[in-house]
Amino acid sequence: MRFSIYLNPQTRGGHEDVEIIQTITRQTLQAIEAGFAGVTLTEHHFSNYNTYGDPFLLASYLAPQLPEGTVFALSCAVPPLWNPMRLAQNVNILDILTKGSAIVGFAAGGSPLEYSGVGRDPATRANENLKTIEIVEKVIAKKPEDPSFEWATSVESGVVHTRLMPGSYSASGPKFARATQSNEGAEQTGLKGWYLFTGRETAQAFEERFEVYERALRRSGLNEEEVQHRLEWSFVQKQVFLADTTEQALAEIHPILDELAENQKKAFTPVSSVDGANTMLTVLRVAANDHDAFIREALIVGDSATFVEEIRKYEAAGVRHMTLVFNWGFMADEQSDRSLRLFIDEVLPHFQNVPAVAGV
């Protein structure tokens, strides 16, 4: 088992943004120095659900401050919110700056507010997601001598006569992942030879999903080293909250969930004919207004001994990599700092010295 720190801090407004970004930067450096293997970043806009917004920009800032080989996972970039050429260019720049250690995950998630803010129709997000990903893959693969590449989404179009600049770090191109919370999605991801990003369920739910994914990977045409690298760096995401005792953690978590639930309700406000509540459950799977379900499925909460026990369950289910959100839900710095410190001091030592498969 290896761990990444997942950066998705919520914000109450512009008066908090600078301090929050400084805090998660500090916490990232602390986590990597302590032995975390990677950093996970996500993309949300306009809704106070992710303070920094642009995962490519923050990852590019963090990369030179961290050891070479630190894995940067984007979970996820949202293709329909991007001009496809800008998205493809950012993928390649990040691939170069991390020397091939970035894994860019794609998903159509995001609330109606986010789609509206960049002039996109949230009702078409599924189709536009697939279309944009296809365009990104094709333009990255295009050589200057190839015929001109014409592309179009529902909102814009263009023609590439030469090539995308810059190129990828390696001839094999950048690494891609899909975020999915279903076995069907896991199978499709494996057949495509991509990494799998998933989360917000119990350990038992992941055992079958990773078995489905591995079987599909082995039918994808990848060699054994490539299969193992994908199994090593695919991950399960969990939000975490540690305290000195489980009783203390549970007592503190409910006010945090109340404020998070209120923000989620605002973040997924309906736009036009789109049902924001249904979109929220599609993207998040379980919402914070249901405390019991959120604690059971999205969270690990308790003392250090509880964490070791819970993570062992994921390990037994075949999970090799977990990405953990320490700073979330408008919590005070001292709470997220405490969670990270307790994890580093009392949980991480139980799971260190796991050899990694060489990069491919």
Distance between CA 6 and CA 279 in Å, rounded? 22
| 3-state secondary structure string across 27-53 | HHHHHHHHCCCEEEECCCCCCCCCCCC
On whether residue 77 sits in a domain, the answer given is yes
Average pLDDT, whole number, for the chain?
A: 93
Residue 272 has pLDDT above 70, yes or no: no
- Residue 44, pLDDT score: 93
Bridge partners (DSSP) listed for residue 5: 39, 324
- Residue 100, pLDDT score: 97
And the tokens for 172? 């094999």
Q: Closest by alpha carbon to 7, among 39, 53, 45?
A: 39
Q: 282 versus 176: which is more confidently predicted?
A: 176
Task: Give the burial class of 211: count Cβ atoms within 10 A of its Cβ; 0-12 exposed, 13-18 middle, 19 or more buried.
Answer: middle
Distance between CA 38 and CA 308 in Å, rounded? 20
Distance between CA 30 and CA 204 in Å, rounded? 31
SS3 304: helix
- Torsion angle (degrees, nearest 10) of CA 306, 22, 179, 206: -10
CATH number of the domain enclosing 124: 3.20.20.30
Q: 210 versus 265: which is more confidently predicted?
A: 210
Percent of the chain residues topping a pLDDT of 90:
84
Residues 6+ apart with CB under 8 A from 175: 95, 100, 102, 103, 104, 195
Q: 264 versus 83: which is more confidently predicted?
A: 83
For residue 349, the one-letter residue type is P
On whether residue 200 sits in a domain, the answer given is yes
- Residue 47, pLDDT score: 87
CB of 34 closer than 8 Å to CB of 70: no
And the tokens for 352? 């260190």
Q: What is the pTM of this model?
A: 0.94
One-character DSSP codes across 245-296: SHHHHHHHHHHHHHHHHHHHHHHT--BTTB-HHHHHHHHHSS-TTSHHHIII
For residue 278, the one-letter residue type is N
Averaged pLDDT for residues 292-320: 95
Confidence band, pLDDT 50/70/90 cuts, at residue 289? confident
Confidence band, pLDDT 50/70/90 cuts, at residue 190? very high
Residue 45: give the domain boundaries. 2-351
Write out pLDDT tens, residues 26-81: 999 999 999 999 999 999 999 889 999 999 999 999 999 999 999 999 999 999 99
Residue 267 has pLDDT above 80, yes or no: no
And the tokens for 116? 């509206």
And the tokens for 234? 């695919």
> What's the total number of domains in the chain?
1
On whether residue 72 sits in a domain, the answer given is yes
Q: Closest by alpha carbon to 1, among 324, 304, 318, 360?
A: 318
- Residue 147, pLDDT score: 98
And the tokens for 240? 């975490």
Residue 163 has pLDDT above 90, yes or no: yes
- Residue 112, pLDDT score: 87
List the Cα angle 53/59/39 in 5-degree steps.
Answer: 100
Residue 353 has pLDDT above 90, yes or no: no
In which residue are the tokens 């369920």 written?
A: 201
On whether residue 21 sits in a domain, the answer given is yes
On whether residue 73 sits in a domain, the answer given is yes
On whether residue 302 sits in a domain, the answer given is yes
How many helices (DSSP H) and strands (DSSP E) are in the chain?
13, 11
On whether residue 360 sits in a domain, the answer given is no
- Residue 284, pLDDT score: 62
Confidence band, pLDDT 50/70/90 cuts, at residue 270? confident
Taking the alpha carbons of 288, 8, 309, 227 in that order, is the dihedral positive or negative?
positive
- Residue 360, pLDDT score: 66
SS3 335: helix
CB of 336 closer than 8 Å to CB of 243: no
Task: Give the burial class of 207: count Cβ atoms within 10 A of its Cβ; 0-12 exposed, 13-18 middle, 19 or more buried.
Answer: middle
CB of 85 closer than 8 Å to CB of 58: no
Write out pLDDT tens, residues 106-162: 999 878 889 989 999 988 999 999 999 999 999 999 999 999 999 999 999 999 999
How many other C-beta atoms lie within 10 A of the C-beta of residue 173?
Answer: 16
Averaged pLDDT for residues 241-262: 96
- Residue 359, pLDDT score: 55
Residue 4 has pLDDT above 60, yes or no: yes
Confidence band, pLDDT 50/70/90 cuts, at residue 337? very high
CB of 148 closer than 8 Å to CB of 161: yes
Q: 276 versus 7: which is more confidently predicted?
A: 7
Confidence band, pLDDT 50/70/90 cuts, at residue 195? very high
